Structure 1
Amino acid sequence: MNVFKNLVVLILIVITASCQEKKETKVFTKADIAIIPKPVSLQLGNGVFEFNDQTQFVISDASQKEIFSTLSDKFKSAAGWTLGISEKAPQTNFIEFVVDENLNDEAYELVVNSKKITIKAKTYSGFLYGLESIRQLLPTQIESKDLVKNTDWIIPNLTIKDEPRFKWRGLHLDVARHFFEKEYILQTIDMLAMHKMNVFHFHLVDDQGWRIEIKKYPKLTEIGGFRNDQEDSHWDGRRVTTPEDDATYGGFYTQEDIKEIVAYAQSKGVRVVPEIEMPAHVMSAIAAYPELSCFETPIGVPSGGVWPITEIYCAGKESTFEFLENVLLEVMELFPSEYIHVGGDEATKTNWEKCPHCQKRMKDEGLASVDELQSYFIKRMERFIASHDRKLIGWDEILEGGLAPEATVMSWRGFEGGIEAADQGHDVVMTPTSYMYFDYYQGPQNEEPLAWGGYIPLSKVYEFDPVVETMTPEQAKHVLGGQANVWSEQIKTAAHSQYMIYPRLAALSEAVWSPKESRDWDDFSKRILTLFERYEYLDINYAKSAYLVMADVQIDMDTKEASVSLKNEFTDADIRYSLNEDQLSDQAIKYTEPLKIDKTTTIHASLFKEDKAVGVPFNTTVAFHKAVGKKVTFKEVYDDRYQGDGEFGMVNTLRGTKNFQDGRWQAWLGKGMEAVVDLGEEMPIHEVLVGTLENQGPGIYFPTAVSVYVSNDGKTFKNVGVEKRAFAKNPASDLKDFKISFEEQSVRYVKVVAESLEKLPGAVGGVWLFVDEIIIN
């Protein structure tokens, strides 16, 4: 009996030891490593380091305690552990920080073995980035705000040697057009640190709001910080405000708020660069102090878009420069950043051409043009900023008329301004609209929240390189790095702001950190999925646009057959589809080639991962109706700028999207549409649908009424129905099918009359009517 007991005990010991051995020898592969941005070099070893409630942080100076909290706070929430701090290393189970003066400023080396983790760095930021890499090596559950059970808190044994390719890795956030609370700013800084980004460009001033307290000029925030609330209208469809209008929308940061934001950013290795616009984008300041403008006309803080921007600071008055110097003195007291951004963009100088003060300044200074006057303005401010040991940085318009000697250029109108500045020996930050404007769409417009009209998907951001191939080595030395810009005209909430920033910030982080030769979209698109899981735990409202299936529909008008191609941002994406009433499940058809369709068909499609549909499903109906390919004549032809698909544009099954420049729309300016469809022979019909678009910003409005008439001789028409729609303010972009149903009757000709809104009160320019398809059933 004792022999049997001993045998059982021995078996249990062997099993237990075997399980422990299996746990300790878990094998990681490089496919398990999902660090973003990708490290310069990574060597994977054997074995793991396991965190537990006895893990210690060995810290040699007080500054490292702040870094320690980056990870210890995570373990406290997710694992329920309060990790200890020690000044002396124990024998095992610890993380140590080792200062290495031989490393570059933001570089770090991370060595993990089963006994300890060593982070070597020269600077605070280096240690911080080493810890951020450890965070991304841990299970994604480390981001949980709630206690997580049954998780092995292990990371693989490895060696990482890492440093950024560029020293300026930035994100710009516009808080002037729409105001964001301090808490959101702090959260954004957290996310910058997580992505190893190091610059937060704080756009504090614009026409629509002054967001920073200046004690010498309290009216800047009392008046300039608030505007008339017209949020129910499209940004570019808002009326001009007056000083008498109620001003209830807005907000600003007190100087105490700014101090807190700056200190928090410093703790995360992020420098905050303030932007105080000049000489344009300052109507909020002029509304507060009209004497700052050329003609001192009282104005209200604009509630929406302004173009052209003619109310700008007067460059002829000494009091203008006194004001700006006093403002900047307070700004520089709050922000330790070596750079002060002065804007300098989009100044329409027509007032300067007429202003006696400005003309006198030009004569006294020997300036030949108002462009040279702007150059004088910027150079003068640059001298003042430099006298306080700071550097001026501005948008690439500061090149016009000659650049201040020590100025740095932020190139947004493409790369050209940056190349020109670098050629002149000036430092440059590249932020071209074609890659770096995160207020542009990142997916199909029909599926996305309102944005500006450009299209910059995740994969395009990943292609960004601040150094242009045509640059000489000497020019390339002046490229400090790259930056994304988030302008907030269309972005009203923190959730929408997050949607526009993430995950595109992750693609940018790798573009400005990792060696160019190591970047690989297929590899990145696998690692980003792990980051998505982290975003979920962090409650980040990230865009899933990269998952979205997009369709390209072409039709052969001779055969009346449509060809539908499905695609996705991911290479070799597993796209599956179903048709009509069939459900979109894991048994759906795998897409391999364009679908050929010759009758009305509804297509459902999705990207699949591990046999599960991910993202928002794609749905579209290619409608084959009785008017397809039939002759259409117009009483007045559409505008040359919007011809759609020409002769068959109204009857080709191809539907326009919310992108009014997609080539599908036919449009009329300042008038309605009257179209007659010849069905070729009499046939029974009972319904007509007319596709329309509204986007009030660029002046596109739904028709006020759509009427349908029928005839058999093409001369005498009978009205069979009308759908009316009164004008309503609409801040969004919307599609609408006007539907007119009637008793079935046999006809040959169908006339459609769409009545355009004649004119809007206070509107500039005409009203556009956009129509894409006349569907006859």
Structure 2
Amino acid sequence: MNVLKKVAVLALIAFTVSCQTVKQTKVYTEKDIAIIPKPAELKLGQGSFKFSKNTKFVVIDASQKALTSILTDKFKNTSGWNLEVADKAPSKDFVQFVIDEKLADEAYKLEVNSDRVLIIAKGNAGFLYAIETLRQLLPTSIESAAKVSDAEWVIPNVTISDQPRYKYRGLMLDVSRHFFKMDYVKKTIDRMAMLKMNVLHFHLVDDQGWRIEIKKYPKLTEIGAWRVDQEDKHWDGRYTPAADEKGTYGGFYTQEELKELVAYAATKNIEVIPEIEMPAHVSSAIAAYPELSCHERPIGVPSGGVWPITDIYCAGKENTFQFLENVLTEVMDIFPSKYIHVGGDEATKTNWKVCPHCNKRMEAEGLKSAEELQSYFIKRMERFINSKGKKLIGWDEILEGGIAPEATVMSWRGVAGGIEAAKQGHDVIMTPGTHCYFDHYQGPQNEEPLAWGGYTPLSKVYTFDPVVDTMTPAEAKHVLGGQANLWSEQIKTEAHSEYMIFPRLAALSETLWSPKESRNWEDFSNRIESMFSRYDLLGINYAKSAYLVMHDVQIDMKTKEVSLALKNEFTNADIRYTLGDKKLTDQATKYTEPLKIDKTTKVHASLFKNNQPVGVSFNTTIEFHKAVGKKVTFKESYSDQYKGEGEFGLTNTLRGTKNFTDGHWQAWLGKDMEAVLDMGETTSIQEVTLGTLENQGPGIYFPTAVTVYVSSDGKNYKEVGVQKRAFAKNPSFDLKDFKISFEKQSVRYVKVVATALKTLPNGGKAWLFVDEILIK
């Protein structure tokens, strides 16, 4: 080898070694650490610890060994390593569990240096959370189920001291409205533990299904667990089944399955709290045992929405309380939880007021109202629950008529119930619908799957705080924490359930775990990106709604100019747009101010990350047509509830969304719409389009026909076209343009008649919603 070749080879070796050294000695910054929820204290040191096939986990007992599988199983998947678990530490390259009795139950410390990792905790709860934090320090690819090539399993040298802000950090799963298999519930528990959540509130009983086996009362699952399958209809558009109609949709969990679930959850430091509703939301129980009601009439298990809820337990009969005590005895044998949730909400007491048994009870107990009778009911059940060493939780309605002495209040109708309960010295769990109801939409409705209503995006969840500013320090001490609720009326599948829970549960976990002063939305926005990558690898169908671009449209009717504003949940979002047929590339124009549009224009926009569009792009067409700004008169005016933009509401280019309260819709109740447009002068036209909405739950139905007439004098009209659509069951909600094309006509007046359904299939009047009449 000549000198030049030797020099070249040496240079190449030096360069390679240099690159490897740089790769191995990565300098970490705090931005590289994306732990959710954010630890209470974290100090970043110099250097890093690298996992290898020789890394050992050093434990004291079998329970700690079980916890190591959270990581060892992942290393086996990604690297093929079978990492050893030992009881003695080597000189280096190990992860060791260390017990410190001085720490709080869920607290932990994590000390990482280049030779070893120390996990310090009092017991399994702290060790679990330390492992989950260690997991999030590793590259996101550790979540892969397949082998990862060229992986470097390196974590920064850090010292973490962490503990939760609140001791109650919950998620409520409703399995009554739609039933989910046990495997999915266990998956949800795993994902809760990843976020250091520690309570699964299990909503096992409601009008539409009884989901827990009670051996003393087999009809509860033989009859109460099954309903007539009407899944092809909207939840609130289903008929009430007769008592003798056989149910085929549903399911239930056996006691053995539930005991196994409780044991599994315990390994993840999750307490499973069962909810057994009373005195309302119990049609499924009354369908099985009609004698539990005041009227004793046989009923069917409802297939959908029930309102008002009048089929409730009779508070006057002793057999009601005997039944409930027997049920709860079996429930408490399954669930060792500190609490039993009894519901207590939304009881319409119509039957109580006329029931001789209830009136006799009220007279004997000196009760002055049906509200006081409910208070008697709950207090009596609390005494029984307390006698078994348990505590009662109820929704905030249990405050009405007088709260049970030791009850804990779950405040869902805002925070007022929680404030009042705390003032009275009761413990409180905050779960207001404004921030904690995960059955609400989390993005623009046009881009989202069907939800119950409301708008609770990721950023709003992140602003939640269980303690209200007006509380005194003494009242604040009664706030145990908070909880997310996923009611499942609209949630039919596991994939949809995941979509509604994640990533919002990550935001909630941080509000319940991390110190309030450490919370920062911009910082969280950066860290959630890492969690998204983990969710991708874990196969979680999380919502990407936070990426969505939202818009606000206004029009100046004098200048006929539209102003289109774009926004996003993320702070200082990089939103870019194109007009016309241009594609969204890294050359798209950066959005800085509202767009001014005065002609038909297609608008495309997206959030950009690293010069690439992410999430679903925003696409709309601002359509200027011949009727823009033209006067409209109606045979019968629209409802005062839905006026749209008023006089020019159907000729202003502004289109309504699937949110029927967005202010763009005009509506008629039980009536046809007959609108006449005055074009101002003779105009050549050949097409008329009417925009409509259907959401059968709140009674909004597409028209059954749209007919167009034209006239030159405003008196004599001729029909030029019609589009018919027969009524059809629709469990979702949809937008539809009725488009009527015809030969060119030179006219001044255009009459559009939308024939309403008028009467709902189950009785009552139907709504007709329209948003724009477009003329070409």
TM-score (norm 2): 0.99
Structure 2 distance, partners of 1:605, 1:771, is 26
Instruction: Specify the code of the residue in structure 1 equivalent to 2:164.
Output: P
Structure 2 distance, partners of 1:203, 1:57, is 38
Structure 1 partner of 2:145: 145
Structure 1 residues 305-704: aligned runs within 5 Å: 305-704=305-704
* 1:172 maps onto 2:172 in alignment: yes
Contact in 2 for aligned 1:675/1:751 (Cα 8 Å): yes
Secondary structure of the corresponding residue to residue 483 of structure 1 = strand
Instruction: Specify the code of the residue in structure 1 equivalent to 2:32.
Output: D
CA deviation after TM superposition for structure 1 residue 201, in Å: 0.5
Task: Give per-residue Cα distances to partners, 1:472-511, cap 9 Å, x unaligned.
Answer: 0000000000100000000000000000000000100111
Structure 1 residues 281-320: aligned runs within 5 Å: 281-320=281-320
Structure 2 distance, partners of 1:722, 1:24, is 72
Residues 678 and 20 of structure 1, relative CA distance in 2, 3 Å threshold: closer
CA deviation after TM superposition for structure 1 residue 760, in Å: 3.0
Contact in 2 for aligned 1:685/1:746 (Cα 8 Å): yes
Secondary structure of the corresponding residue to residue 310 of structure 1 = coil
Structure 2 partner of 1:726: 726
CA deviation after TM superposition for structure 1 residue 585, in Å: 1.2
Structure 2 partner of 1:776: 775
Instruction: Specify the code of the residue in structure 2 equivalent to 1:203.
Output: H
Structure 2 distance, partners of 1:446, 1:253, is 36
CA deviation after TM superposition for structure 1 residue 8, in Å: 8.7
Secondary structure of the corresponding residue to residue 453 of structure 2 = strand
CA deviation after TM superposition for structure 1 residue 633, in Å: 0.3
Secondary structure of the corresponding residue to residue 452 of structure 1 = coil
Contact in 2 for aligned 1:674/1:751 (Cα 8 Å): yes
Task: Give per-residue Cα distances to partners, 1:607-643, cap 9 Å, x unaligned.
Answer: 1100111000100111111111111000000011111
Structure 1 distance, partners of 2:401, 2:83, is 59
Structure 2 partner of 1:237: 237
Aligned-pair identity (%): 72
Instruction: Specify the code of the residue in structure 1 equivalent to 2:327.
Output: V
Structure 2 distance, partners of 1:65, 1:186, is 20
Any gaps of 5 or more consecutive residues in structure 1?
A: none
Structure 2 partner of 1:94: 94
Structure 2 distance, partners of 1:340, 1:561, is 59
Structure 1 distance, partners of 2:679, 2:71, is 70
CA deviation after TM superposition for structure 1 residue 105, in Å: 1.4
Structure 1 partner of 2:79: 79
Task: Give per-residue Cα distances to partners, 1:338-392, cap 9 Å, x unaligned.
Answer: 0100000000001000111111111111111110000000001111111111110
Structure 2 distance, partners of 1:4, 1:20, is 24
CA deviation after TM superposition for structure 1 residue 19, in Å: 4.5
Contact in 2 for aligned 1:24/1:47 (Cα 8 Å): no
Task: Give per-residue Cα distances to partners, 1:518-564, cap 9 Å, x unaligned.
Answer: 10000000110010000000000000000000110000000000000
Instruction: Specify the code of the residue in structure 1 equivalent to 2:773.
Output: I
Structure 1 residues 102-121: aligned runs within 5 Å: 102-121=102-121
TM-score (norm 1): 0.98
Structure 2 distance, partners of 1:16, 1:630, is 74
Instruction: Specify the code of the residue in structure 2 equivalent to 1:405.
Output: P
CA deviation after TM superposition for structure 1 residue 21, in Å: 3.2
Secondary structure of the corresponding residue to residue 178 of structure 2 = coil
Contact in 2 for aligned 1:443/1:545 (Cα 8 Å): yes
Residues 744 and 56 of structure 1, relative CA distance in 2, 3 Å threshold: same
Contact in 1 for aligned 2:635/2:675 (Cα 8 Å): yes
Secondary structure of the corresponding residue to residue 441 of structure 1 = coil
Structure 1 partner of 2:216: 216
Structure 2 distance, partners of 1:7, 1:657, is 70
CA deviation after TM superposition for structure 1 residue 758, in Å: 2.8
Structure 2 partner of 1:127: 127
Structure 1 distance, partners of 2:92, 2:13, is 25
Residues 677 and 122 of structure 1, relative CA distance in 2, 3 Å threshold: same
Instruction: Specify the code of the residue in structure 2 equivalent to 1:564.
Output: L
Task: Give per-residue Cα distances to partners, 1:274-325, cap 9 Å, x unaligned.
Answer: 0000000000000001111111110000000000000000111111111101
Secondary structure of the corresponding residue to residue 378 of structure 1 = helix
CA deviation after TM superposition for structure 1 residue 674, in Å: 0.3
CA deviation after TM superposition for structure 1 residue 17, in Å: 5.0
Task: Give per-residue Cα distances to partners, 1:99-157, cap 9 Å, x unaligned.
Answer: 11111111111000011100111121111000100100101111001111111001000
* 1:52 maps onto 2:59 in alignment: no
CA deviation after TM superposition for structure 1 residue 413, in Å: 0.1
Contact in 2 for aligned 1:626/1:776 (Cα 8 Å): yes
Contact in 2 for aligned 1:605/1:618 (Cα 8 Å): yes
Structure 1 distance, partners of 2:16, 2:656, is 65
Instruction: Specify the code of the residue in structure 2 equivalent to 1:562.
Output: V
Structure 1 distance, partners of 2:747, 2:23, is 78
Secondary structure of the corresponding residue to residue 615 of structure 1 = strand
Structure 1 distance, partners of 2:20, 2:595, is 54
Residues 194 and 718 of structure 1, relative CA distance in 2, 3 Å threshold: same
CA deviation after TM superposition for structure 1 residue 2, in Å: 11
Q: What is the Cα-based RMSD across aligned positions, in Å?
A: 1.4
Structure 1 distance, partners of 2:33, 2:274, is 36
Contact in 1 for aligned 2:458/2:546 (Cα 8 Å): yes
Structure 2 distance, partners of 1:256, 1:271, is 17
Contact in 1 for aligned 2:699/2:760 (Cα 8 Å): no
CA deviation after TM superposition for structure 1 residue 13, in Å: 6.9
Residues 682 and 111 of structure 1, relative CA distance in 2, 3 Å threshold: same
CA deviation after TM superposition for structure 1 residue 717, in Å: 0.5
Residues 157 and 747 of structure 1, relative CA distance in 2, 3 Å threshold: same
Residues 591 and 5 of structure 1, relative CA distance in 2, 3 Å threshold: closer
Structure 2 partner of 1:271: 271
* 1:24 maps onto 2:24 in alignment: yes
CA deviation after TM superposition for structure 1 residue 246, in Å: 2.4
Aligned residues: 776
Secondary structure of the corresponding residue to residue 455 of structure 1 = coil
Instruction: Specify the code of the residue in structure 1 equivalent to 2:771.
Output: D
Structure 1 distance, partners of 2:438, 2:169, is 15
Contact in 2 for aligned 1:213/1:253 (Cα 8 Å): yes
CA deviation after TM superposition for structure 1 residue 81, in Å: 1.0
Task: Give per-residue Cα distances to partners, 1:2-36, cap 9 Å, x unaligned.
Answer: 99999899767755654553333211111100000
Any gaps of 5 or more consecutive residues in structure 2?
A: none
CA deviation after TM superposition for structure 1 residue 269, in Å: 1.0
Structure 2 distance, partners of 1:23, 1:609, is 25
Instruction: Specify the code of the residue in structure 1 equivalent to 2:67.
Output: I
CA deviation after TM superposition for structure 1 residue 677, in Å: 0.4
